[in-house]
């Protein structure tokens, strides 16, 4: 799961980022509206956490532009206490939920999870290929009905591969979606995690086709062919 935080108060932005990363989300932060809009419009996020009062482009305008360009990524607005008119305007422009500052991190987390559960583009909660299933709600992974235990990062990597099954994904795409752009990761981190996943979802099922494939010089894909 990948989240964008657009918030000009560095302290708030960084504490949201830190908290969400501990929950294994990949998090990008923009500290002004212009960067926020550029990232929101060009990258693929599962949820956008959007402050309203921002330098550059304000939160309402970001929301309006995204919806106008047919981007329906769930938006959680951060509003000041008691500003009913702000909230109503946000909803009118296409926001999905709001949270009043100051808020408890656990409440933010609950709302992010709830937004993520909403069907968008009719994505099912179960992703599958070749006898392998991954349930994004229960976090259960099985192959041929045998339960497979994955770490959070392995789960996030497998989910990303499955959401794009049949497509070759480059290391940079994988890093950007499963980790995040400025995370401190080593050049071979993706390879290492692909290895962990193979050991769990392919190696124990010797009679079955290997699902994770290396496309030398390009990247990886998950596919039954
Ligand atoms: Ca602000």
| pLDDT, tens only, 14-63 | 999 999 999 989 999 999 999 999 999 999 899 999 999 999 999 999 99
Q: How far, in whole angstroms, is CA 139 from its chain's centroid? A: 15
In the block, which residue shows the tokens 């990597």? Answer: 157
Phi/psi class of residue 52: alpha, beta or left (left: φ > 0; alpha: ψ in -120 to 50)? alpha
Count of beta carbons in the 10 Å neighbourhood of residue 165? 17
What would the mean pLDDT of 162-179 be, rounded to a whole number?
89
When the pLDDT of each residue in the chain is averaged and rounded to a whole number, the result is 89
| CA-to-CA dists, residue 139 to 106, 126, 147, 184, angstroms | 19, 10, 11, 26
Percentage with pLDDT > 70 across the chain: 94
State residue 69's pLDDT score: 87
Query: Residue 31 Cα, ligand 1 centroid: separation in angstroms?
Result: 9
Query: Residue 8 Cα, ligand 1 centroid: separation in angstroms?
Result: 5
State residue 123's pLDDT score: 46
State residue 192's pLDDT score: 94
Query: Residue 53 Cα, ligand 1 centroid: separation in angstroms?
Result: 4
State residue 212's pLDDT score: 96
State residue 120's pLDDT score: 53
What would the mean pLDDT of 129-137 be, rounded to a whole number?
88
Query: Residue 39 Cα, ligand 1 centroid: separation in angstroms?
Result: 18
Query: Residue 184 Cα, ligand 1 centroid: separation in angstroms?
Result: 28
What would the mean pLDDT of 181-195 be, rounded to a whole number?
83
What would the mean pLDDT of 114-119 be, rounded to a whole number?
78
Q: 2-120 has which CATH code?
A: 3.40.50.2300
The most confident of the ranges 74-88, 152-166, 177-191 is: 152-166
Cα separation of 205 and 10, whole Å? 48
Q: In the chain, which segments carry CATH 3.40.50.2300? A: 2-120
State residue 80's pLDDT score: 79
Q: In the chain, which segments carry CATH 1.10.10.10? A: 126-222
Q: 126-222 has which CATH code?
A: 1.10.10.10
Tokens of 200: 């769990």
State residue 50's pLDDT score: 97
Query: Residue 62 Cα, ligand 1 centroid: separation in angstroms?
Result: 13
Cα separation of 47 and 13, whole Å? 15
Q: State yes or no: pLDDT of 122 exceeds 50.
A: no
Query: Residue 6 Cα, ligand 1 centroid: separation in angstroms?
Result: 9
For 71-110, the pLDDT digits (tens) are: 889 999 998 766 778 888 888 888 889 998 889 999 999 9
């Amino acid at each position: 799961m990948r989240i964008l935080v657009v918030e000009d108060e560095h302290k708030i932005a960084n504490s949201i980022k830190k908290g969400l990363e501990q929950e294994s989300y990949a998090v990008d932060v923009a500290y002004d509206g212009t960067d926020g809009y550029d990232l929101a419009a060009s990258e693929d996020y599962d949820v956008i956490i959007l402050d309203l009062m921002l330098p550059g482009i304000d939160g309402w305008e970001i929301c309006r532009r995204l919806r106008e360009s047919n981007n329906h990524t769930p938006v959680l607005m951060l509003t000041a206490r008691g500003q009913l008119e702000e909230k109503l305007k946000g909803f009118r422009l296409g926001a999905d939920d709001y949270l009043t500052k100051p808020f408890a991190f656990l409440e933010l987390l609950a709302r992010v999870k709830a937004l993520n559960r909403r069907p968008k583009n009719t994505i099912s909660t179960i992703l599958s290929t070749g006898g392998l299933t991954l349930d994004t709600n229960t976090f259960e992974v099985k192959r041929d009905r045998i339960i497979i235990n994955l770490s959070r990062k392995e789960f996030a990597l497998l989910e990303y591969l499955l959401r794009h099954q049949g497509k070759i994904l480059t290391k940079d795409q994988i890093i950007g979606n499963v980790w995040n752009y400025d995370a401190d990761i080593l050049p071979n981190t993706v390879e290492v995690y692909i290895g962990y996943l193979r050991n769990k979802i392919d190696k124990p099922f010797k009679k079955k086709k290997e699902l994770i494939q290396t496309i030398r010089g390009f990247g990886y894909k998950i596919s039954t062919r």
